[in-house]
Amino acid sequence: MREAPSHTVVAELACRRARIRACDPLAGKEAERVLGDVQGLVIAGSAGEALHGADALALVTERKEFRTLDFEAINVGMRTPVVFDGRNLYKPAAVAAFGLEYHCNGRAVNSRQRQRCAWVKVPG
């Protein structure tokens, strides 16, 4: 957790008064200890719990269990099916096939779309 990209993402979302449900099966207890005072943050017990009714999924880990997500279940469980893939784990066309809006980090989603996902860095 010391240099995890989740710190930046959580800090920026908290600054914007977002309600955040995060999940990390391995570092959940450590995340609670390190980020426990962040306003609006809840550490969920599972990915499904974190995603239920969510407006967006921000993926900031390469952990094995997140490499094969059930995109159909994600689309059904989320209020707004938007995925921000900070690790470029997925093929854009594969995710879009499930009706999810997909944003990746620094690569084109398709041949006509050459926009890059703008990740906001928190000063400090």
What CATH number is attached to the domain comprising 62? Answer: 3.40.50.720
Domain count, the chain: 1
Instruction: Tell me, yes or no, whether 35 lies in a domain.
Output: yes
pTM surpassing 0.95?
no
Instruction: Tell me, yes or no, whether 98 lies in a domain.
Output: yes
Helix 28-35 vs helix 5-15: crossing angle, to nearest 10: 50
Q: How many CA atoms lie within 13 A of 15 on its CB side?
A: 10
**Can you tell me the mean pLDDT for 82-89?**
90
Domain that holds residue 50: 5-104
Note the pLDDT tens digit of each residue in 44-82: 888 889 999 999 999 988 888 888 888 998 888 899 989
- Looking at residue 17, its amino acid is R
Instruction: Tell me, yes or no, whether 124 lies in a domain.
Output: no
Note the pLDDT tens digit of each residue in 3-58: 777 888 888 899 999 999 988 877 777 778 888 788 889 988 888 899 999 999 99
Q: In whole angstroms, give the CA distance from residue 102 to residue 93.
A: 9
Q: Are 92 and 104 in contact (CB under 8 A)?
A: yes
Instruction: Tell me, yes or no, whether 88 lies in a domain.
Output: yes
Q: In whole angstroms, give the CA distance from residue 75 to residue 72.
A: 5
Checking if the pLDDT of 90 tops 70, the result is yes
Instruction: Tell me, yes or no, whether 117 lies in a domain.
Output: no
Instruction: Tell me, yes or no, whether 118 lies in a domain.
Output: no
